[in-house]
């Protein structure tokens, strides 16, 4: 028997048995998006998938296939759709994907779902997709579905951020392709990171608004790295992971009453 | 520099450079679907992805992230949505995903796209998504897009099938989770195949119609394997791959005039 | 009182009474599509309608108005959308039409529905529309709907095909505007068939993929006839009809337990 | 060669040739809807189709297949969706059908389209569908499309109505299944009219609002005939047709400058 | 405590308490649309809102925020979308807005809803939106929703119209920006009416059909006023309001059994 | 002539003239949402409308009617949809409304649009709506549209926040119905504020995730006020407005080059 937390590596009988036992199912939400010259386009797929696999092992869960295309990238949070390699879905499309996967998990008996987002712009359309799914499941007669939805980075603790950013944490908004993501990639897929290509044209200096079309002087670094990636290490990635995994696991145990 | 045919393992500058050089981009279409007790749910992701990676190496192309959820499974071709672990999208959702990814590839300068389908029920909604994308690209002023769309299994040659099925090829319709797919999985992900669990409750004996709800006596094997998987080997998988890769590569070269 | 199997030739009281008596309702799915120089654009409307009317008489059913516009035509199965006179719907539109008609039949008390498709490209969007309707009806509290869905041509028996094609049946894929459809039209609407215009530029020699835009050398006969129509006769049409009608009627009686 | 004004009775070469010659194409919009105990459900299909065929002969036009399912029936204009046999589409679905057919006529070179509505509730969704089609055609680079849209009954002249209603015309609102429609059916499909079943429970006495759910005392005749059908004759139908056909033909010639 | 019939001027506790007491909720439907040179673009917002506020006071109801953008304007009823300042929604969008607001009112316990339309082209998409909402609410388990839908102008009584139009009422069709609307605006927002700018290029002389694109000689007054606004006074507006308010209130009391 | 910055208080000739002169058009995005026991449901309509009117006067712009229903409220930012009086649209509906209004402004010649959001959950669907509109306008041949999109609260300056929050600004996330919004309402609509009802059950203590269904112990104050409203004054509202208006005006002048 295959022993895997990846739902898609099980056969249908194993899936059925795990679901019958109450296993929570994780749905990671990624994107294919520029992450500077030193990181590959798959960062937002790799990171939430990696977090989910670790948490799933903690709580006896399964990880559904990561949605690899995210909702459209904006200049102030991800550089924007004009960057080569950024391949996104319209918000409506993305929400329908989330809706369909969650609805069908529900129809197959899953009652504990954790949506783990790894791409900033997915936050709201994933709320929408989840809401649409729960609405449909209710109408299908499924009234006991439990779901959580989170951005994994929100589980970094203040002391950890203080340690990683001795000069002060610049805020999650600018962390695109920066120290946090680069360190986590060094931990999870080091062969895809090229530290010698880390740029120094940041940090971004955005005005407090969006502009269409994007002006030349909008404050967006040409590299696509919104803050600073220098100093990233796998150790720092591990520090973050050491926050994410136990804290997310704890939240899941609490909300889904897994220990009762 | 990362050397990969996987689009998402490149950084955005590498992607930009490959696209500028005219690289064809492959979009594999998969599904998360029951494939009997001996195969994992990821068969329809693994196979077209594996084919695409091999062909991409032949023709200097890139492979975009595989769409891991397919269009709804039907009893006569995939067992049906009621099987545990089969997680599908509505046809409209699936078409919008294909539309968005192809449209955005086009907007980023890609002019040669190959959609490679690995899940039977994706055929028509992938045609629809491609048609919608091309229609939109035309309106966006992009009039020189070239696209191909194919089911990889259609490239198996008659002599190969005759060799694999000495008693006669039962037809592609019933090949779900059967000898072809099992052999290819033994080639690509042998650690996920459990040959000792190959069932013998097939082949399916379907009537020539769909029925809702599904009757007990519809002829669908309980295992979800529509024909027979006994006798599958990695060697047979290699025989198939030896048809698929050069023939698909040849078709691409011809249609995209890659050698001119 | 009007005695008709056509639902739309009844008045509402007659409809109500037939439905109350458990009459199955047939929904034929057609298209307006090129069928070569010798056949009119209405072939895919005429044939499933004709089959339905005959089967309905056998089983005491009613035939709802045929949907006259089908899902988009593809070169390898119907010549393609670029042919003059081919007028199709997007897949989403087509599915919504099927959904709405079936849902409203269900709301009016119909519990036995047979969707009979006469246009290849309608297969999958009709599955989708039917699935969407059943899903909605379930939510409306209608849990006992029974539905069948079929392509009428799948009911031709091997011996019949052997008789019609003494040199071997080339396969249903290429039968567009060819011997089967022409013979059936000679049976049902002979005044619309011009046998002197039957072309001889076939059969099609398609490669195993779709290409956009369509290449000049794709193997598509200029006439739009994918195989061969020579030798078509009304008698051959009758032979086919003698398979379709009793076998479809038998399947319906079995699945809907009409004789119990 | 088949000589027909019905587009779907032509083959694709004849269609192509007519379109190249500038033939206007008529799209009749019908419905499947209760029309009292004396009329069949197909009234709203039969009447606009009959009008279109006659006008098409006058102006050298073609009649596309009638859309047989209309937009949802309301109690105050058609009795309502609860009547057995009334089978409608959602407004969005109906608009998409109109959009797709018109868009594809435009893509095939048709530049003069006349949408002829025969079901009151289709008015607005047909405007919507036409608007969406023209918007898309513009984006496709087709800037010279000409289209008309009309309800055929608006071409009855005052003196004709005075002759048909010597006691005063009650207004088109209540003419559902009443004298005008019954007389036209006696002209076009007399075998489907049962004058001995004409009810006398009308006319309707509606309040000036809609109510959901429909109250018992809403003033809707149980027969579904909103006004009075007594006295209908084929001669009266001919009087109406003698208004419709020349006046609609004249309007088309003027707007499409057919004589220039 | 704020005493207001405007739902949005209450706080949530007041809203909750009113709803618990069975207060009917009014949803006015407006538009932003040209109304000639003497009236502002907000006429169709101001009038139904004003009617609703007065009726709500009579029956103890609440007025939800008016939807300020209506469904697309047509030349024969509102001048058309080409007029500067006419800003409309697609029919599908408009219906979804109506659907969502009514569905969410229902979910919050409201069981008596009155949709009051002030823009002609909103009639049908508001029926659609209401129907979609009731369908969804039924599926959500809410089976006791009561709803009315009306155009306020249909409550003008014949004697009132005879008084306002001593030479005969030209019909509601042409009343766009004409005597009725101008008089009501003089009553409700006189500071926005410029009687010295009332044009005299009407009335419109439309043919009985729509034409795309709009011809020069279609009979549409350049001012956008379809009939005649001369002679409008606040007193006449009050006469109308004296019909609308008590009659709508009476209809609501009857249908919602408010006095029982 | 009416002198107003409100687009809907102009007549169509005035609108036309302003647009021809290059006036920027503001589109405020609101919501109907609970704002605690001391504030009305219209806070998110009143505030962005008030800001827009003031900025429009500064830059010679026009304010389009505020969209009064927003995208669905979430517990962590607005209390959630379960609060009585919170009436929202689905994200798709909201985006379509934004799309339609902006597209139609563009078609009427407006080339400078400023979307000003006043409800947190509108951020992303308003990006989506704007993106869809710009995409359509491009296809309509309008290539010179300039648009900005902003949340007005992002223009508060640090020193102002420090003055308003001497103990430290708790962050914009929890400012729902709290000091900023209450102070601005005291400035703009003091008659709708009841300071004696300001609750003291906050601030919210949310975990870093969403949970469906909402748990009892989620940290959401029963009042719906997420932080603290005590100490709000109109003067503080004026301080904020003194940041918003000149800074937004300055950004608009810069981006739209209004002074060149």
| Structure confidence by residue, pLDDT tens digits, F27-64 | 999 999 999 999 999 999 999 999 999 999 999 999 99
Whether residue C107 lies within 8 A of chain E, CB to CB, comes out as: no
- Chains B and E lie in contact, requiring 3 or more CB pairs less than 8 Å apart: no
Cβ within 8 Å, pair B8-A42: yes
DSSP states of chain A: ----SBGGGS-HHHHHHHHHTT--EEEEE--B----TTS-TTHHHHHHHHHHHHHHHHHT-EEPPPB-S-BPP-HHHH--TTSTT-B-B-HHHHHHHHHHHHHHHHHTT--EEEEEE-SGGGHHHHHHHHHHHHHHHHHTT----EEEEEEGGGG--HHHHHHH-TT----GGG-TTSHHHHHHHHHH-GGG--GGG---S------SSEEESPPTTS---TTS--S--TT--HHHHHHHHHHHHHHHHHHHHHHHTTT-
Q: Which of C139, C140, C141, C142 is most worth mutating to test chain A (most A CB atoms within 10 A of its CB)?
A: C139
Contact list in B for residue C71 (CB cut-off 8 A) is: 124
Q: What average pLDDT score do residues C84-111 get?
A: 98
Mean pLDDT over all residues of chain F? 96
Q: Cα E235 from chain centroid?
A: 20
Q: What average pLDDT score do residues D30-44 get?
A: 98
Whether residue C143 lies within 8 A of chain E, CB to CB, comes out as: no
Residues in CB range of F216: below 8 A, 6 or more apart: none
Task: Please identify among residues 227-246 of chain F the ones whose CB lies closer than 8 Å to any CB of chain E.
Answer: none
* Pairing of the two strands F146-151 and F112-117: parallel
Residue A106 vs residues A103, A146, B41, B71, B78: alpha-carbon distances, Å: 5, 10, 17, 17, 20
- The pLDDT of residue A2 is 63
F1, pLDDT greater than 70: no
**Sign of the Cα pseudo-torsion (D80, D86, D90, D94, in order):** negative
- The pLDDT of residue C60 is 97
Q: Is E114 helix (H, G, I), strand (E, B) or coil?
A: strand
Q: Which of F53, F128, F151, F181 is catalytic?
A: F181
A24 vs A105: CA distance, rounded Å: 11
pTM of the prediction?
A: 0.98
- The pLDDT of residue E3 is 79
- Chains C and F lie in contact, requiring 3 or more CB pairs less than 8 Å apart: no
Query: Which residue is listed with tokens 């009749």?
Result: D28
Whether residue A104 lies within 8 A of chain B, CB to CB, comes out as: yes
- The pLDDT of residue A169 is 87
User: Which of A94, A110, A7 is closest to A44 using CA atoms?
Assistant: A94
Per-residue pLDDT band for D27 (boundaries 50, 70, 90) equals very high
User: Which of C80, C207, C124, C119 is closest to B150 using CA atoms?
Assistant: C207
**Sign of the Cα pseudo-torsion (A158, A163, A168, A174, in order):** negative
- The pLDDT of residue F159 is 96
Per-residue pLDDT band for D50 (boundaries 50, 70, 90) equals very high
What are the φ and ψ backbone dihedral angles of F82, each rounded to 5 degrees?
Answer: -80, -10
* Pairing of the two strands C146-151 and C112-117: parallel
What are the φ and ψ backbone dihedral angles of E97, each rounded to 5 degrees?
Answer: -60, -50
- The pLDDT of residue E175 is 87
Residues E166-218 pLDDT 10s: 988 888 878 899 999 999 999 999 999 999 999 999 899 999 999 999 999 99
F189 class by beta-carbon count within 10 Å (0-12 exposed, 13-18 middle, 19+ buried):
middle
Count how many residues are written for chain D.
260
C148 vs B27: CA distance, rounded Å: 34
- The pLDDT of residue B2 is 63
E115, pLDDT greater than 80: yes
Residues in CB range of D159: below 8 A, 6 or more apart: none
- The pLDDT of residue E118 is 98
From edge to edge, which strands make up the β-sheet containing B146-151? B62-63, B25-29, B112-117, B146-151, C210-212
- The pLDDT of residue D175 is 87
Name the CATH architecture for the domain at A7-256.
Answer: 3-Layer(aba) Sandwich (3.40)
Q: Where are the alpha helices (DSSP H) in E208-258?
A: 234-256
Q: Given a contact as 3+ CB pairs under 8 Å, which chains touch E?
A: A, C, D, F
Cβ within 8 Å, pair B64-A42: no
Tally C-beta pairs within 8 A across D and E.
Answer: 98
* Pairing of the two strands A112-117 and F62-63: unpaired
Q: What average pLDDT score do residues D92-108 get?
A: 98
Contact list in A for residue B40 (CB cut-off 8 A) is: 2, 8-11
User: Which of A222, A123, A231 is closest to A182 using CA atoms?
Assistant: A231
Catalytic positions of C are 33, 35, 44, 119, 121, 176, 181
Residue E91 vs residues A246, E73, E116, E224: alpha-carbon distances, Å: 50, 11, 17, 22
Whether residue E139 lies within 8 A of chain C, CB to CB, comes out as: yes
D209, pLDDT greater than 80: yes
**Sign of the Cα pseudo-torsion (B150, B152, B153, B155, in order):** positive
Cβ within 8 Å, pair F7-E96: no
Whether residue A139 lies within 8 A of chain E, CB to CB, comes out as: yes
Residues F140-180 pLDDT 10s: 999 999 999 999 999 999 999 999 999 888 888 788 999 99
Per-residue pLDDT band for E1 (boundaries 50, 70, 90) equals low
C182, pLDDT greater than 60: yes
- The pLDDT of residue A259 is 73
Contact list in D for residue C12 (CB cut-off 8 A) is: 34-37, 41, 83-86, 224
Beta strand extents in B56-170 (DSSP E only) = 62-63, 112-117, 146-151
In chain C the first and final C-alpha atoms are separated, in Å, by: 28
**Sites in chain A below the pLDDT cut of 70:** 1-2, 260
Contact list in F for residue D139 (CB cut-off 8 A) is: 139-140
* Maximum Cα–Cα distance across chain A: 57
**Sites in chain B below the pLDDT cut of 70:** 1-2, 260
Contact list in B for residue D139 (CB cut-off 8 A) is: 139
Cβ within 8 Å, pair A95-F92: yes
- The pLDDT of residue A260 is 54
Cβ within 8 Å, pair F66-E68: yes
Nearest chain F alpha carbon to A146: F212
The helix (run of H) or strand (run of E) holding residue E106 is helix E91-107
């Amino acid at each position: 028997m295959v022993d895997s937390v990846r739902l898609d590596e099980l056969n249908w009988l194993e899936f059925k048995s795990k679901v019958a036992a109450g296993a929570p199912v994780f749905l990671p939400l990624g994107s294919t998006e520029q992450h500077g010259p030193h990181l590959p386009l798959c960062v937002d797929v790799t990171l939430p998938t990696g977090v989910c696999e670790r948490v799933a092992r903690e709580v006896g869960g399964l990880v559904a296939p990561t949605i690899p295309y995210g909702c459209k990238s904006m200049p102030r949070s991800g550089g924007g759709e004009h960057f080569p390699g950024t391949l996104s879905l319209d918000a409506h499309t993305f929400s329908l994907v989330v809706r369909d996967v969650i609805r069908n998990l529900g129809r197959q008996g899953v009652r504990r779902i954790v949506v783990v987002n790894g791409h900033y712009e997915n936050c709201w359309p994933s709320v929408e997709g989840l809401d649409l799914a729960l609405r449909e499941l209710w109408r299908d007669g499924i009234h006991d579905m439990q779901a959580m939805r989170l951005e994994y980075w929100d589980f970094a603790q203040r002391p950890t951020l203080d340690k990683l950013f001795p000069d002060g944490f610049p805020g999650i908004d600018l962390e695109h392709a920066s120290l946090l993501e680069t360190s986590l990639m060094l931990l999870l897929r080091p062969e895809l990171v090229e530290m010698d290509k880390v740029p120094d044209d940041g940090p971004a200096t955005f005005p407090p608004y969006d502009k269409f079309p994007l002006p030349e002087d909008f404050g967006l670094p040409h590299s696509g790295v919104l803050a600073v990636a220098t100093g990233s290490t796998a150790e720092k990635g591990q520090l973050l992971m050491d926050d994410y995994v136990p804290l997310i696991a704890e939240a899941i145990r609490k909300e889904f009453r897994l220990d009762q």
